Amino acid sequence: MSHADRVKALMITKSDQGQAAAWCEVGESDLMEGDVLVRVSHSTINYKDGLALTGKAPILRRFPMIPGIDFAGTVERSTHAGFKPGDDVVLNGWGVGESHFGGYAGLARVNGDWLIYRPAAFSAAQAMAIGTAGYTAMLAILALEAHGVTPAKGQVLVTGAAGGVGSVAVAVLKKLGYGVIAATGRPAETDYLKSLGAAEVIDRASLAAPAKPLGRERWAGAIDVAGSHTLANAIAQTRYGGAVAACGLAQGMDLTSSVAPFILRGVTLAGIDSVQCPREQRTEAWRRLARDLDPATLDAMTVTRPLTDVIGLAPEILAGKVRGRVVLEV
């Protein structure tokens, strides 16, 4: 690659009028510090990317910023001991697309410690069909397993089920033998959710009001992307000894709950962080995705769009209008 090589990038700037996004060209010299240079082939859009692009939440920590918390690509140059030119890699999180230039550009220069090898089971496009959303779903499933939630213990609730985290969670849980209760605000997606493996589809409105301290025991575990009252209701209706994995805030950051489920039913609330998650856990999550996520099911929940569509997709993902996963071709 020549040093004169320039690639398209989405740059977000901030002024007194707020933040603005514009396409521009960048070269290697415009990138931030890092010991690995990656030629980016694919990225994706997650709920967090939607917040960053619209400015609805202070996700971006510095300006100007190239957003995009995920990318897949091939190493061009490396002074990191773990990577060499030609290696296929994936990055999720680590503040990339928030405080360090991210995946919405043809090149990315990053700290090699943030990268993992792309599992051979997945193409670059499939790795981004999974993205942070799918990898977060797998971390949540690993947490439920670690807390003894097995298929024999009962069903698992997945909130925001038609979204990115939810779609992958439903598909993987089904393959692992769990009965899945999918909660969604989109009744039109019932057939889609059943095609992914949901045994039952419920209206998210049934979980959206303030929770009672304890509800009827309905599920052995739950994966929640909503927070707020939805998470409180998920906890209050978890069976004795069950566990709830919390990984999102689509309804709100608040949690008005009671200690009753914890001290009367022995319920565990497990927090899921995808950004700073240690590399061993990341590698394990991706290993399990390669084993437990059916590629045909992944393809069925994925649409492919050019990277230039990302600005228009941002408000749609926040409004809950994006089904499943979106792969962005860089």
Percent of the chain at pLDDT > 70 equals 99
213-236 pLDDT, tens digit each: 999 999 999 999 999 999 999 999
Residues 104 and 150 both lie in one domain: no
Here the tokens at position 296 are: 């045909």
Provide the domain count of the chain.
2
Q: What is the pTM of this model?
A: 0.96
pLDDT at res. 3:
53
* Domain membership flag for residue 196: yes
CATH number of the domain encompassing residue 247: 3.40.50.720
Residues 218 and 258 both lie in one domain: yes
Residues 37 and 89 both lie in one domain: yes
Q: What is the 3-state secondary structure (H, E, C) of the chain?
A: CCCCCEEEEEEEEEECCEEEEEEEEEEHHHCCCCCEEEEEEEEECCHHHHHHHHCCCCCCCCCCECCCCEEEEEEEEECCCCCCCCCEEEEECCCECCCECCCCECEEEECHHHEEECCCCCCHHHHHHHHHHHHHHHHHHHHHHHCCCCHHHCCEEECCCCCHHHHHHHHHHHHCCCCEEEEECCHHHHHHHHHHCCCEEEEHHHHCCCCCCCCCCCEEEEEECCEHHHHHHHHHCEEEEEEEEECCCCCECCCCCCCHHHHHCCCEEEECCCCCCCHHHHHHHHHHHHHHCCHHHHHHCEEEEEHHHHHHHHHHHHCCCCCCEEEEEC
Residues 145 and 93 both lie in one domain: no
Residues 181 and 106 both lie in one domain: no
Residues 229 and 309 both lie in one domain: no
* Domain membership flag for residue 72: yes
Residues lower than pLDDT 70 in the chain: 1-4
Residues 93 and 147 both lie in one domain: no
* Domain membership flag for residue 241: yes
* Domain membership flag for residue 251: yes
Backbone phi, then psi, for 231, in 5-degree steps? -65, -40
Nearest residue to 176 (alpha-carbon basis) of 208, 202, 200, 141: 141
Residue appearing with tokens 């022995």: 266
Cα three-residue angle 299-304-306, rounded to 5 degrees: 165
How far apart, in whole angstroms, are the C-alpha atoms of residue 316 and residue 308?
Answer: 15
Give Dmax over CA atoms of the chain in angstroms: 65
pLDDT at res. 15:
94
Question: Which residue, of 256, 271, 286, is where some domain finishes?
Answer: 271
Residues 252 and 325 both lie in one domain: no
Residue appearing with tokens 């209706």: 237
* Domain membership flag for residue 126: no
In this structure, the strands spanning 325-329 and 36-44 are antiparallel
pLDDT at res. 95:
97
Residues 91 and 19 both lie in one domain: yes
* Domain membership flag for residue 49: yes
CB atoms closer than 10 angstroms to residue 139: 23
* Domain membership flag for residue 127: no
Domain limits at 84?
6-118+294-329
pLDDT at res. 271:
98
Hey, which residues does 100 pair with through a beta bridge? Answer: 96
* Domain membership flag for residue 245: yes
Q: What is the 3-state secondary structure (H, E, C) of 265-281?
A: CCCEEEECCCCCCCHHH
Residues 33 and 151 both lie in one domain: no
Residues 162 and 262 both lie in one domain: yes
165-206 pLDDT, tens digit each: 999 999 999 999 999 999 999 999 999 999 999 999 999 999
Asked if residues 108 and 136 have their Cβ atoms less than 8 Å apart, the reply is no
pLDDT at res. 171:
98
How far apart, in whole angstroms, are the C-alpha atoms of residue 174 and residue 163?
Answer: 16
CATH number of the domain encompassing residue 79: 3.90.180.10
Residues 113 and 148 both lie in one domain: no
